[in-house]
Amino acid sequence: MPTLRQLFLANNAQTTNFPLLLEFERAEGIYMYDKQGRAYVDLISGIGVSNLGHSNPYVVKAIKEQLDKYMHLMVYGEYVQTPQVRFAEKLVSLLPQNLQSVYFTNSGTEAAEGALKLAKRFTGRQQVVAFHNSYHGSTHGALSVMGNEEFKQAYRPLLPGVRFIHFNNMDDLEFINDETACVIIETVQGEAGVRVPDAGYMQALRKHCSDTGALLVMDEIQAAFGRTGRLFAFEHFNIVPDMLLLAKAMGGGMPAGAFITSNVIMSALKENPILGHITTFVGHPVCCAAGLAAIEVLLNEDLMAAIAEKEIIFRKCLVHPAIKEIRGIGLILAIEFESFELNKKIIDRCIANGVITDWFLHCSNAMRIAPPLIITPGEIKKACDVIMEAVEHCC
């Protein structure tokens, strides 16, 4: 009789030749538990998803209550479904006035796809400006605006008309012009190893887009919902995007994403042709119920108030000659080492000792730190002890 691991390798599509092959029975709070009952600290929140930790009881309750009412009823945009309406209403109430129309998606990459289509449709322009080392997802359009040729070269030809500029570089803003449909940018570059732009740069980018008529599309798929210490990361820079992309933590552990813009811009999808962007499962009632509950927990429990303090604890505890730099803001941090080989050894030892972390797609020599926002100061110190033991052992 094959084991579950053997069946996983035989029947589940693999994304690498070296999956972690960890097998968990349950998860609660910041911990995941294997079949032997051993606890692992999830220091990456399932890659930015579990901001509230695992199995938040308020979110689970909302899911169960919605399950008892109904699940999927119809393709998106036809029926008035309470979970969709209430979730969109809540999101809009927390955003600037021009971000008033929510198009739900199943994921971040789908949010990017919808935004790219909408920007071209609304402006009538064809050029897109993106950034070196950016990441917006893996579907064809999102891949086209990924700023890493290594991950793209096998899938060309991709979307034409994409120009790449350097993140946080004022001189490159001149490449945004009256032929640019949109500029798509991560508010904080995630897979580049957590690069936080200067406020002055972001304000200049906003002005340049306004002056040229290009839409500013801000990808907060990793950075939103409190991770940086603000509900939305663009709030740090005193600017407002024309479109906002959300996903990951948005669903409270359920699959959910969105692109959000003004009613005027979004209306471009309604005609010439009608049904300009259609999809079946987005705004799933159970996912919307979970997402609304997750926002309520985040706000009602004031989880963002302690984020800056928790960042300081990580920075104070993670000091070693082998650590070249700590970058980031709030609880999205990158710990940079000399090489990928050293970073991977440290990560592997951390996992063996019960702390799960990871590396970045475009910055493989940096360790990812993005724990659930509910992590306590004491839990941070214990996790850092494990990391520091691994650093000492591997250096």
Q: What is the pLDDT of residues 10-42, one digit of tens each?
A: 999 999 999 999 999 999 999 999 999 999 999
pLDDT for the residue numbered 362: 96
pLDDT for the residue numbered 70: 97
Q: pLDDT by residue (tens digit) across 245-281? A: 999 999 999 999 999 999 999 999 999 999 999 999 9
The dihedral through the CA atoms of 286, 268, 203, 180 has a sign that is: positive
Q: Name the amino acid, one letter, at 173.
A: L
pTM above 0.85, yes or no: yes
For domain 60-300, which architecture applies? 3-Layer(aba) Sandwich (3.40)
Q: How far apart are CA 176 and CA 118, in angstroms?
A: 18
Q: pLDDT by residue (tens digit) across 344-394? A: 999 999 999 999 999 999 999 999 999 999 999 999 999 999 999 999 999
Tokens of 375: 């992590």
pLDDT for the residue numbered 388: 98
Q: pLDDT by residue (tens digit) across 189-221? A: 999 999 999 999 999 999 999 999 999 999 999
Q: How far apart are CA 275 and CA 253, in angstroms?
A: 29
CB 328 within 8 A of CB 312: no
CA-nearest of 137, 94, 83 to 287 is 83
Categorize the per-residue pLDDT at 136 as very low, low, confident or very high, splitting at 50, 70 and 90.
very high
Q: How far apart are CA 311 and CA 115, in angstroms?
A: 32
Q: pLDDT by residue (tens digit) across 92-120? A: 999 999 999 999 999 999 999 999 999 99
User: Cα-Cα-Cα-Cα dihedral of 161, 165, 168, 171, to 10°?
Assistant: -110
CB atoms within 10 A of CB 55: 13
CB 62 within 8 A of CB 289: yes
| Domain extent listing, the chain | 4-55+303-394, 60-300
Q: How far apart are CA 123 and CA 180, in angstroms?
A: 9
Backbone dihedral region for residue 57 (phi beyond 0: left; psi -120 to 50: alpha; all else: beta): alpha
pLDDT cut 70: percent of the chain above it: 100
Tokens of 256: 């959910």
**Stretch among 6-15, 90-99, 126-135 having the lowest mean pLDDT:** 6-15
Mean pLDDT for all residues in the chain: 97
CB 83 within 8 A of CB 295: no
CA-nearest of 351, 333, 338 to 390 is 351
pLDDT for the residue numbered 348: 97
pLDDT for the residue numbered 315: 98
**Domain 4-55+303-394 of CATH type 3.20.20.105:** no
pLDDT for the residue numbered 338: 98
Tokens 């070296």 map to which residue? 18
Task: Report in angstroms the alpha-carbon separations of 380 from 91, 204, 331, 371.
Answer: 30, 37, 11, 9
Q: How far apart are CA 131 and CA 192, in angstroms?
A: 10
pLDDT cut 90: percent of the chain above it: 99
